[in-house]
Amino acid sequence: MDELRAICARLTGNELVAAECAQLTGGLPDADGVAVCRRVDGVPRAAFVRAGLRCYAEAATLAGLAEQIGRAAFEAEGFHIDFLPLAAGSAISKQQAVVSAADAIQTYPDLRRPRHRFLVVAQENRLWFGEILSECAHTYNQHDAKPFRTSSSLPSRLARALVNLVCPPPGGAGFTILDPFCGSGSILLEAQAVGAAALGMDRNFKMTGMSRRNLAHFGYQGTVISGDALDCTLQADAVVTDLPYGRLLQDPLAESNRAALQAALARLVRLAPLAVYLSEQDISPLLTEAGYGDIRVWRVRKHAHMSRFVHQARSLAL
Asked if 123 and 199 sit in the same domain, the reply is no
pLDDT at 12 over 90: no
Average pLDDT of the chain to the nearest whole number = 93
CB 159 within 8 A of CB 218: no
DSSP label at residue 316 = S
Q: Cα 268–272–277 angle (5° rounding)?
A: 60
Last residue of a domain, one of 135, 164, 199: 135
What are 58-89's pLDDT values in tens digits? 999 999 999 999 999 999 999 999 999 998 87
Same domain? For 307 and 158 the reply is yes
Among candidate residues 271, 258, 318, the one with its CA nearest the CA of residue 293: 318
Its domain, for residue 249, covers 139-315
- CA dist 192 to 25, 163, 168, 182, 200, Å? 21, 10, 14, 13, 11
Contact 165, 310 (CB under 8 A): yes
What's the pLDDT at 226?
96
308 and 205 housed in the same domain = yes
% pLDDT > 70, the chain:
95
Tens-digit pLDDT profile for residues 194-206: 999 999 999 999 9
Q: Are residues 121 and 208 in the same domain?
A: no
In the structure, what pLDDT confidence band is assigned to residue 246 with cuts at 50, 70 and 90? very low
Same domain, 178 and 292: yes
214, 67: one domain: no
pLDDT tens-digit profile of 91-109? 889 999 999 999 999 999 9
pLDDT confidence bin for 252, thresholds 50/70/90: low
Q: Same domain for 53 and 70?
A: yes
Question: Which of 114, 135, 156 is a domain's end point?
Answer: 135
* DSSP SS3 for 67: helix
User: Which residues make Cβ contacts (< 8 Å) with residue 89, sequence separation at least 6?
Assistant: none
Based on the fold, state whether residues 53 and 159 are members of the same structural domain: no
**Confidence class of residue 306 from pLDDT cuts 50, 70 and 90?**
confident
Average pLDDT on 144-173 reads: 92
- Please give the tally of structural domains in the chain: 2
The CATH number of residue 64's host domain is: 3.30.2130.30
- Count Cβ atoms within 10 A of the Cβ of residue 90 and give its class: 0-12 exposed, 13-18 middle, 19 or more buried: middle
pLDDT in tens, 124-151: 989 999 999 999 999 999 999 999 988 7
Residues 151 and 271 in one domain: yes
Tell which of 135, 170, 201 closes a domain: 135
Distance (Å, whole) CA 192 – CA 98: 40
Claim to verify: residue 48 and residue 104 sit in the same structural domain: yes
176-179/126-135 β-pairing? unpaired
The CATH number of residue 171's host domain is 3.40.50.150
- The answer to whether residues 261 and 245 touch, using CB atoms and an 8 Å cutoff, is yes
- Residue 251 reports pLDDT greater than 90: no
- Give the pLDDT confidence score for residue 35 in this predicted structure: 97
